[in-house]
Each structure stands twice: as C-alpha cells, then as structure tokens.
Structure 1
Amino acid sequence: MHPLKPSEVMAFDVYFASVTSMQYHPGAGTKEHRRLSIQECRDVALAMLEQRRTVIQTEE
C-alpha cells in the first residue's frame, strides 16, 4: 500500500476509529469474535482505504 495522501487522512482516521471502537462492543472477544489488536485494526483500516481508492480517485 502506498503512503496516505493528504486527502485520505480523514478517511483513514474514521476507518481506524470505527474498527478500533468496535473492539469495545459487548460481543467483541466472545465466541468466534476475537478482539483485534491495535495493529490489526490499523491493517483493517488500511485495507478499507485501499478499497476506497478503487472507487474514489484522489490526487497523485
């Protein structure tokens, strides 16, 4: 993945905060729902950003 572009910082922040905050949901860490580490949350947010890039073109 390429480094974040200035126009993607807010999107990354929202994705990362969303994934991370879900780790505090009462169902997180129960049954087959394993809590993610902060690094795993980062990786999920970056994957979401990568998908966003396929839909929304940003500056080069």
Structure 2
Amino acid sequence: MSYCAPSGERGGEPVRQVGSHVHLRHPERSGRVTVPVHAGETLHPKTLASILAQAGMAETDLLKFL
C-alpha cells in the first residue's frame, strides 16, 4: 500500500480497509488512525491536521515523504 508509506515508516501497520478508508495501527500507541483514500481528491486541511495529530506526526514529518 504505497499511500500508507509515511505512516508505515513510523511504525503504522495497515490493519484493514473498508471501502476507501484505510485503518492503521501503531504497535506502541493505542488506538488507530483512519485515512481516507479517495482517488483524485484532496484532503481538507482540517482532515489532514486531524490525521497527523492522531498519528503523532508533525507537518514537517509528512513533508519528508513528499
């Protein structure tokens, strides 16, 4: 799953996919992060900020993968 690379590099593992949403789990943190994967669509800035906060990532961490 190439779209999970940033989270996978930080230890997130894809647990399952339901429709166009991927659920990621970190082996050391509790909970999971749900990431929408809609082809051709851009995430709303607040959605992206929420995903990053849940994953414990900063914007600078994400930019390393782009």
TM-score (norm 2): 0.28
Higher helix fraction (1 or 2)? 1
Higher strand fraction (1 or 2)? 2
User: Relative contact order (C-alpha < 8 Å, sep 6+): which is higher?
Assistant: 1
TM-score (norm 1): 0.29
